[in-house]
Amino acid sequence: MEFIRILILLFALFAWSRVVINLKTRKFSLIEFILWSIIWLSLIVVDIFPTILSTITRIFGTSSGTGLLVYLSIILIFYLVYRISSQIDEHRKAITKLTRHIAIIDAELREIKESKGKHKKLNLSKATGLSKQRKTKTKSK
């Protein structure tokens, strides 16, 4: 086996092991696990049995296995970019919603603090008013 094929095999095995770990730690959904497993296991099979690639190229009508891999890679990249942009849009909407909720809660807290501050001032003025009245009563006696 050629050195580059050994490196590809080791990398694909490592990448697929990370996919399995991500499924076990629930970082991947089942669909993501299946998608990445198909990719990495296909690479492993093609690396071990390279003649399969020539059979597949005849089925798809491409001139070489390399061309087929490039076409499939481009399609996969477009799909992944679409998924990532969809997730970014969902996250943006969620962040906007959370920001609005936080702003509403902050405004409500400020109102509560201001109303408590007004009540304290009123209570202090009443208390000082009473103490002034007591002083004037004691002075008049």
- Residue 123 counted as domain residue: yes
- Give residue 27's domain range: 1-49
Residue 136 lies in a domain: yes
Domain total for the chain? Answer: 2
What is the reported pTM?
0.61
Residues 75 and 24 in one domain: no
Asked whether residue 16 falls in the same domain as residue 74, the answer is: no
Same domain (yes/no): 23, 79: no
Express each pLDDT in 98-128 by its tens digit: 999 999 999 999 998 888 877 665 555 554 5
Top pLDDT among 115 and 15 is at 15
Highest mean pLDDT among 40-44, 51-55, 132-136: 40-44
84 lies in the same domain as 26: no
For range 130-140, the mean pLDDT:
51
81 and 43 within one domain: no
Shared-domain flag, residues 36 and 76: no
Residue 59 domain-assigned (yes or no): no
Tell whether 76 is covered by a domain.
yes
Any domain includes 55 = no
If asked whether residues 14 and 83 sit together in one domain, one would say no
User: Alpha carbon 83 to chain centroid distance?
Assistant: 12
The set of long-range contacts for 10-17, using a CB threshold of 8 Å and a minimum separation of 24, is 12/40, 12/41, 12/43, 12/44, 12/47, 13/40, 13/44, 15/40, 16/40, 16/41, 16/44
**pLDDT tens digits, 78-97:** 999 999 999 999 999 999 99
- The secondary structure of residue 108, as a DSSP letter, is H
